């Protein structure tokens, strides 16, 4: 069981800020593949990975990072604070 | 020991009062530098409001990591970071970074470093609401590129 | 048109209030940077007071020249320079420089430029009064050297 | 007739903040020579020119700068503002 969080326009496209996902995905990229296969809104949100960033357990990570032990994965666009 | 103060809040803050408090708490050093980011109107002057979304938990961790890194790289007495989320209007203060140091060069460099990292590494997203609709602000390539100068040394 | 405000005064000023006024007057741009210089105690913690002497007339001209130069080199909306003379005590604000700009990099560079030139080109002299006597503060080679980086570009 | 001003420790060594000088000096260096010849306190103040700065009519200048037309010359140590 893994919490998956979405922020900004990723949240808007997927339609929820957070959900719990049952997954055996080994990497973030694997998880993205699973999500893409679910519904059109996921495919739309994950269409261009270069426009996305990912955090594993609140640390910025890469799409090929392993998910072993992760409790929380978040997807969002590049940050625009400051 | 560097004093690090971080606040992520949805309420407005008084940058001047924060600057004075920060200076008073650090009067043993000579140089205080502050950066304040304000909500700027759109080119069409039709910004109704800006909404800032953030990632509670990760935001505070990211800001702490960035401040710790600055405190390690430069000779600082104190670092202050304040960042708002939620609804903001034109002219309001979005955020503030301040450094107190013995020498001004360290303070300036650390403040720029904090800003560069905060822009591209702290999980905040801005959305602008105007007459013509709502748009997420695009990240600027220049902001990502600005990080490059801190990795060489 | 860049708004330039310069004040050479023997009275204390409220840096926080100045920062807020400066931000309010420049809310069409997004980045406000301030530098505040404070009276720092001596290593022996025995500073009774600092006296700053200046050259009335030349001081204002030199600060205006430095501010004009900054306004010419960077895309700024406004520049503020305040510098005190006369008697000051530990923790008091000696001076303040602020810039308002659309982009933070221009504001930071201009503020550093203003400080570098102000340090070595504006006619102020500090004298420290301690238990062991009165001493004019020596100019630092590093301050003169800091000007070098602005002549290359 | 030229106003000559002194600041900081130069003022203290010479003992006055300002005086009026009758001079035909062509450069700052010539003026310094004349002043040095006056009294010991001037010789002391002008002992090391590398420790001094000069302004002509409120503009920073050099010791070999011409004085033609100048109304005000000021001597002082390197600045320590900021």
Which residues of A are less than 8 Å from B118 in CB distance?
A: 81-82
Cβ separation C36–B40 shorter than 8 A: no
* Mean pLDDT of all residues in C93-116: 97
Mean pLDDT computed over C121-139: 96
Q: Which chains have at least 3 CB atom pairs separated by less than 8 Å from chain C?
A: B, D
- Is there contact between D and A if contact means ≥3 C-beta pairs under 8 Å? no
Contacts of A67 by beta carbon, 8 Å cutoff, 6+ apart: A2, A23, A25, A26, A27, A28, A30, A31, A56, A73
Report the C-alpha gap between A67 and B42 in whole angstroms: 41
**Averaged pLDDT score across all residues of chain D:** 97
User: What is the pLDDT confidence band of residue D12, given thresholds at 50, 70 and 90?
Assistant: very high
Residues in chain A: 82
Average pLDDT over every residue of D37-44: 96
| pLDDT tops 60 at residue D69 | yes
Residues of chain B in contact with residue C111, where contact means CB-CB under 8 angstroms, are 33, 108
Among C14, C28, C90, whose Cβ lies nearest the Cβ of B40?
Answer: C28
Q: Do chains D and C touch (3 or more CB pairs under 8 A)?
A: yes
pLDDT reported for residue B82: 98
D-side interface with C, Cβ within 8 Å? 5, 7-9, 11, 55, 58-60, 74, 76-82
Q: What percent of chain B has pLDDT over 70?
A: 99
pLDDT at residue B143 greater than cutoff 70: yes
pLDDT band at B90; cut points 50, 70, 90: very high
Residues of chain B in contact with residue C101, where contact means CB-CB under 8 angstroms, are none
- The pLDDT, as a whole number, for residue B153 is 54
What does the pLDDT read at residue C103?
A: 94
Q: Is residue B77 part of a domain?
A: yes
Residues 6+ apart with CB under 8 A from B125: A7, A8, A76, A77, A79, A80, A81, B52, B53, B54, B136, B137
Rounded distance, CA A2 to CA B86, Å?
27
Pick the residue from chain A with its C-alpha nearest to B83: A82
Position B152 pLDDT exceeds 70:
no
pLDDT in tens, C18-45: 999 999 999 889 999 999 999 998 888 9
Please determine, for residue C135, whether its predicted confidence score (pLDDT) is greater than 70: yes
Return the half-sphere exposure (C-beta side, CA atoms, 13 A cut-off) of residue B22. Answer: 36
Determine, yes or no, domain membership for B31: yes
C58 shares contact with chain D (CB less than 8 Å): yes
CA distance A37 to chain B (A): 26
Q: Based on the structure, what is the number of domains in chain C?
A: 1
Using only the alpha carbons of chain C, give its radius of gyration: 16
Q: Note the pLDDT tens digit of each residue in B111-134.
A: 999 999 999 999 999 999 999 999
pLDDT in tens, A10-66: 999 999 999 999 999 999 999 999 999 999 999 999 999 999 999 999 999 999 999
The answer to whether A12 and A44 are in contact (CB under 8 A) is no
Closest-CA residue in chain A for B118? A82
**Subunit contact C125:D55, Cβ cutoff 8 A:** no
Confidence of residue C152 (pLDDT cuts 50, 70, 90): low
pLDDT surpassing 80 at residue C136: yes
Classify residue C115: in a domain, yes or no.
Answer: yes
Q: Does B70 reside within a domain?
A: yes
User: Chain D contact for C124, CB < 8 A?
Assistant: yes
What architecture is domain D2-76? Roll (3.10)
pLDDT higher than threshold 90 for residue C46: yes
Strand bridging mode C3-9 / C76-84: parallel
Q: Residue C1: its pLDDT value, please?
A: 84
Question: Residue B43 has what pLDDT?
Answer: 87
Statement: residue B24 has pLDDT above 60: yes
Question: What is the spatial distance between Cα A79 and Cα C37, in angstroms, rounded to a whole number?
Answer: 33
Q: Which domain holds residue B44?
A: 3-148
> What pLDDT score was predicted for residue B1?
84
Give the one of B57, B95, B125 whose C-beta lies nearest to A79's C-beta: B125
Q: CATH code at C114?
A: 3.90.1170.40
pLDDT given for residue C147 in this prediction: 93
CA–CA distance, C12 with B133 (Å, rounded to integer): 47
Q: Are C67 and C5 in contact (CB under 8 A)?
A: no
> Which residues does chain D have within 8 Å of residue C83's beta carbon, measured at their own beta carbons?
81
C153 occurs within a structural domain:
no
Residue C153 has pLDDT above 70, yes or no: no
SS3 of residue B96 by DSSP = strand
* Length of chain C as a residue count: 153
How would residue B56 be classed by pLDDT, with cut points 50, 70 and 90? very high
């Amino acid at each position: 069981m893994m919490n998956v969080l979405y922020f900004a326009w990723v949240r808007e496209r997927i339609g929820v800020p957070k959900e719990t996902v049952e997954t055996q995905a080994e990497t973030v990229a694997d998880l993205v593949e699973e999500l893409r296969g679910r519904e059109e809104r996921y495919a739309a949100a994950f269409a261009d990975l270069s426009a996305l960033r990912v955090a594993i357990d609140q640390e910025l990570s890469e799409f090929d990072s392993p998910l072993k032990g992760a409790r929380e994965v978040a997807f969002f666009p590049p940050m625009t604070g400051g | 020991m560097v004093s690090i103060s971080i606040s992520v809040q949805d309420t407005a803050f008084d940058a001047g009062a924060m600057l004075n408090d920060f200076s008073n708490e650090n009067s043993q050093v000579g140089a205080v530098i502050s950066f304040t980011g304000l909500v700027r109107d759109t080119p069409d002057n039709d910004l109704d409001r800006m909404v800032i979304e953030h990632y509670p938990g990760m935001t505070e961790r990211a800001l702490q990591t960035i401040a710790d890194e600055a405190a390690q790289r430069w000779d600082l007495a104190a670092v202050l970071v304040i960042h708002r989320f939620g609804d903001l209007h034109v002219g309001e203060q979005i955020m503030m970074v301040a450094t107190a140091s013995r020498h001004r060069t360290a303070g300036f460099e650390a403040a720029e470093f904090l800003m560069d990292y905060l822009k591209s590494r702290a999980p905040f997203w801005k959305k602008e609401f105007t007459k013509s609709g709502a748009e997420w602000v695009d990240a600027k390539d220049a902001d990502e590129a600005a990080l490059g100068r801190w990795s060489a040394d």
